[in-house]
Amino acid sequence: MWWVFAQEREEYRGNIEALNRETGLNFKEAFGSGTTSMCIDETARKLALLEQGGAKHRLFGFEEIDDWELRWTEVSRNGSLSFQNVHFTFRTTQLEMPIFKVGVNSKLNGETWSQKLRLLMA
């Protein structure tokens, strides 16, 4: 199983490198979960929404992101609280894609990236 995961990560990294060659930008892996993720080029002040593991992408300037919200579902079992379906909901100024979601693997990871985005886009 670890070999499959490593192979998928290598393919994903290759997709980011291809995106950088195609756009002339310098995106780095940032956050995501499942088939959707977000990469950031701090210098160019751009975000890339990667779909299908990086096979498809859409670019956003920082100024095109109106706001975002970290959301999750709380589940209580046997006195223990867990957070499921943790994701960002982004609102943009693009008519073709006014709202999109990007999953994250934990609430803490989402909170960390929310603050990083706030600092980057200030």
pLDDT of residue 1: 42
Between CA 5 and CA 21 the distance in angstroms is 25
Question: In whole angstroms, how far apart are CA 31 and each of 75, 83, 114?
Answer: 23, 17, 10
Q: How far apart are CA 78 and CA 44, in angstroms?
A: 48
- Predicted confidence at residue 9, as pLDDT, reads 62
pLDDT at 118: 95
Per-residue model confidence (pLDDT) at position 28: 87
**Residue 85 tokens, joined:** 């379906």
d(CA 88, CA 48): 14
Digit-by-digit pLDDT tens for the chain (122 residues) are 433 344 456 666 778 888 999 999 999 878 888 788 899 999 999 999 998 777 789 999 999 999 999 999 999 988 899 999 999 999 999 999 999 999 999 999 999 999 999 999 98
Q: pTM for this one?
A: 0.85
Q: What is the pLDDT, as a whole number, of residue 8?
A: 54
